[in-house]
């Protein structure tokens, strides 16, 4: 509720999955402001891929290892870095090349691709470990 006082912040409440594409078209930047702690250290924020799939610039805190998304999102380690990254992301919003890169990275992170990666590792493990 404290955010309601800011002019450029809109709290929309829960949305149905069908409403999300229209809602995300109204956004300038996707934020993932998680606190870094023992719990969040092991979280993988699926929201990052959802924002990227919509072509949105993403700014996140340095709460977990997101190195696989480095280059298409901004990882801020301090409050001032977070603010600066949000400002830069808003300026970059209309950059079509960067938007295409974000969408491409999100496409590579679909469940079908992840399942294929797991299958490849399992197949390598099965051939590397002798049968009993």
Per-residue pLDDT tens over the stretch 113-129: 667 678 888 888 877 76
75/60 Cα distance (integer angstroms): 5
**Averaged pLDDT for residues 3-28:** 86
**pLDDT at 83 > cutoff 80:** yes
90/56 Cα distance (integer angstroms): 9
Reported pTM: 0.77
Provide the 10 A C-beta neighbour count for residue 1.
5
94/101 Cα distance (integer angstroms): 13
Fold of 2-128: Rossmann fold (3.40.50)
Per-residue pLDDT at 115 = 73
Contact yes or no for 53/113 (Cβ under 8 A): no
Per-residue pLDDT at 59 = 97
């Amino acid at each position: 509720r404290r955010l309601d006082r800011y002019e450029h912040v809109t709290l929309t409440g829960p949305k149905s999955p069908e409403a999300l594409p229209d809602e995300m078209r109204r956004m300038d930047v996707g934020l993932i402001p998680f606190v870094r702690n023992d719990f969040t250290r092991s979280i993988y924020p699926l929201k990052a891929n959802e924002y990227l799939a919509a072509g949105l610039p993403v700014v996140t805190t340095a709460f977990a290892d997101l190195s696989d998304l480095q280059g298409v999102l901004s990882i801020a380690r301090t409050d001032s870095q977070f603010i600066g990254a949000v400002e830069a992301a808003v300026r970059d919003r209309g950059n079509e090349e960067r938007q295409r890169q974000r969408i491409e990275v999100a496409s590579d992170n679909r469940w079908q691709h992840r399942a294929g990666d797991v299958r490849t590792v399992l197949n390598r493990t099965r051939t590397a470990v002798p049968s009993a």
